[in-house]
């Protein structure tokens, strides 16, 4: 295994699992290409998350709890 391939594999192992799993299908062996592809995957995931957040009504967004308090 070349130093480039070893460096690339170490980089991939350090990624978040959801990004790492998307990179496996590309079988990248060149470090710079792997970094670029990982950044592309991360951007796509963020865009998808942003799109989903905009499509959900604010009261139905996951993780948001709204309290209504009446003061008399």
Per the structure, the count of domains in the chain is 1
57 pLDDT higher than 80: no
26 within a domain of the structure (yes/no): yes
32 within a domain of the structure (yes/no): yes
Kindly report whether the global pTM for this prediction surpasses the value 0.85. no
62 within a domain of the structure (yes/no): no
21 within a domain of the structure (yes/no): yes
48 pLDDT higher than 70: yes
25 within a domain of the structure (yes/no): yes
What is the DSSP secondary structure assignment for residue 39, as one 8-state letter?
A: H
68 within a domain of the structure (yes/no): no
Closest to 31 measured CA to CA, from 11, 47, 45, 54: 11
**pLDDT tens column, 2-25:** 999 999 999 999 999 999 998 888
Range of the domain at 32: 3-53
**pLDDT tens column, 25-42:** 888 889 999 999 999 999
65 or 14: which leads in pLDDT: 14
Element housing 42 (H / E): helix 31-55
């Amino acid at each position: 295994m070349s130093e480039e391939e070893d460096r690339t594999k170490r980089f991939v192992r350090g990624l978040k699992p959801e990004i790492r799993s998307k990179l496996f299908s590309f079988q990248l062996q060149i470090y710079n290409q792997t970094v670029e592809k990982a950044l592309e995957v991360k951007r796509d995931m963020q865009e998808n998350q942003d799109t989903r957040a905009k499509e959900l009504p604010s009261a139905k967004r996951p993780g948001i709890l709204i309290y209504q308090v009446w003061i008399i």
